[in-house]
Structure 1
């Protein structure tokens, strides 16, 4: 295994670190509330970072999301990268990629995903509706040439960054993947632990375009997209935790108690050391999973392993970051509290550790039986 980034991945990571570091300041984050910081999003798009995602691969996206997580920057970079740019690159037809990727790359279109609750959505196929190309972004009533069309009905309880998205990747009860214009659906604001501009997605005979060839079997690509999403969001969690720990280290080395820095106390050092090992374990497992995916190697077990570490260790680290701030950690306006909120929300989004572990056990048993 060689996790050394390519020159392109390293350059993109350095560029992202500079933009997030300069613009995702505590004051700007507070002003953004639950929505995207438009100045930050424009800067990322002007630098070509979203557009670079199909070229730098999943490992490259993980490196960028680590930098976002360090600052808890208010952008839908993760959702648009996974459920838009990578999903279409992996599964879309040549026509879909040519039509949809440019908008996602320059930021004029933003994608999110509603794939975790496939049983909540049913699809009614529309035979013979592969007519002329619809409006840019797809999902129009006429439908793009050659794309399977359907009407979707159902409710997805919450979708991250839905209120800032223009399109949503939806999985139906057969685990088929559909591209839906948010403007064609109903969205209801939902308050979540982290300020992610989340919303409830309500579909009522909403027009949708099948992602991929019309003849693809039901469920084609679903597990792949699910695994890629887990790997990417595990990388985001690694960054969130690294940022929380960095803030805790800065606080404990500058804050004194009884004439000594807090960091001089053995108990503080042990908590920080445990958190550091957790962060490094998260990074190792997510890097391995992303690298294996990019190299075309089996990755399903590794995606679940990365998700488990991000869930279990992520909770420990963000709690440690808050605890090492003492009384300041209880201040809802303190920057470290954002890391706590993001860490808890990512734990819920990835699936709690016991659920992920049960899924991993079932996969190992299935592989053993085969």
Structure 2
């Protein structure tokens, strides 16, 4: 395995870091409230970072999402890339790719995915027609298209203009909504295996996003404890603080390296089912620990809901909920490993 970024991946990551760092500031995030930063989204699309994901692969996408997570930038980057751009590019027909990809690359179309674990809640009621309801879809209020699996795990691409969308507030400000389909027209995307492929891609991408969220939380904690003094010396000189920060660092690195491995294997066309579940488990379980540690290391300041570190806490908990609890992921991984033939 070689996780060394290519020149193209490194250039895209550096550009993303610069754009997110310049535009996703504490002041702009406070002004955005629970909504999306439209100016930042336009800047990312204008810089070609959304379209670049087709060329830099899953590992490249994970690198870009790390940069988003460091600043908790409120844009539908992961959702559009996973459930729109890459899903259509990999599983769409020639006609679908020609019609949808230019708009997704340019940001005039925004995609998201309604991905319950087993497609519960949506069914095909007639040819090309879907009915059902899903209580929570991330970035749905921004989306022009939503990728929906039915009970048979067939993928359908639906225009949100044909659905009923109502606002839902979630732990993190992900512009989420409740989706209701009532005989809604949809177009099939891909064939057998498309659902599993997109689900694996989504788990890997959001694990990469969690790696960035945790890295950002830890960086803030290190800066705070290095400058905040108690009894005449920095907090960071206390052994308890050092050990807590060290544990958070190791957890963050575990999230990062397992996400990299899952992404690399997908780029190489290798089986990545176990690695994807491993990455999702680390992102869920360790992610919680890191963002809690980041807040605790700020002491009373961490209890301030307006402090920047609190956003990392909210995002970390939201990603934990979105990826699924650790016990569920371990159970799925166990079932997968039990099916494998012994070497």
When normalised by structure 1's length, the TM-score is: 0.91
Q: In the superposition, relative to structure 1, how do residues 221 and 369 fare at CA in structure 2: closer, same or farther (>3 Å)?
A: farther
Equivalent runs, 1:182-221 vs 2, <5 Å: 182-212=160-190, 216-217=191-192, 220-221=193-194
Distance 2:136 2:9 in 1: 32
Distance 1:73 1:32 in 2: 10
Deviation at 1:89, TM superposition (A): 1.4
Cα shift readout 1:219-278 (whole Å, capped 9, x = no counterpart) = x31111111100000000000000000000000001000110000111100000010001
- Please say if 1:328 is aligned against 2:301: yes
Cα shift readout 1:286-332 (whole Å, capped 9, x = no counterpart) = 00000000000110000000000000100000000000000010000
Distance 2:252 2:174 in 1: 23
CA contact (8 A) 1:151 1:207 kept: yes
For 2:156, the equivalent position in structure 1 comes to: 178
User: Greater shift after overlay, 360-369 or 252-261?
Assistant: 360-369
**Structure 2: where are the runs of 5+ without partners?**
none
SS state of the match for residue 112, structure 2? Answer: strand
Cα shift readout 1:171-206 (whole Å, capped 9, x = no counterpart) = 001100001000100001111111111000000001
- Please say if 1:164 is aligned against 2:137: no
Deviation at 1:157, TM superposition (A): 1.2
**Structure 1: where are the runs of 5+ without partners?**
127-149
Distance 1:153 1:369 in 2: 43
Cα shift readout 1:204-224 (whole Å, capped 9, x = no counterpart) = 001101113xxx35xx31111
When normalised by structure 2's length, the TM-score is: 0.98
Distance 1:229 1:125 in 2: 28
Distance 1:368 1:330 in 2: 50
CA contact (8 A) 1:35 1:164 kept: no
Deviation at 1:124, TM superposition (A): 2.9
For 1:259, the equivalent position in structure 2 comes to: 232
Equivalent runs, 1:229-240 vs 2, <5 Å: 229-240=202-213
CA contact (8 A) 1:37 1:75 kept: yes
Aligned-CA RMSD value: 1.1
- Please say if 1:309 is aligned against 2:287: no
Which of 245, 258, 277 is the equivalent residue of 2:218?
A: 245
Equivalent runs, 1:30-49 vs 2, <5 Å: 30-49=30-49
Deviation at 1:98, TM superposition (A): 1.3
Deviation at 1:60, TM superposition (A): 0.5
Deviation at 1:90, TM superposition (A): 1.4
CA contact (8 A) 1:111 1:169 kept: yes
Distance 1:54 1:204 in 2: 33
SS state of the match for residue 202, structure 1? Answer: strand
- Please say if 1:276 is aligned against 2:254: no
- Please say if 1:14 is aligned against 2:14: yes
CA contact (8 A) 1:41 1:75 kept: yes
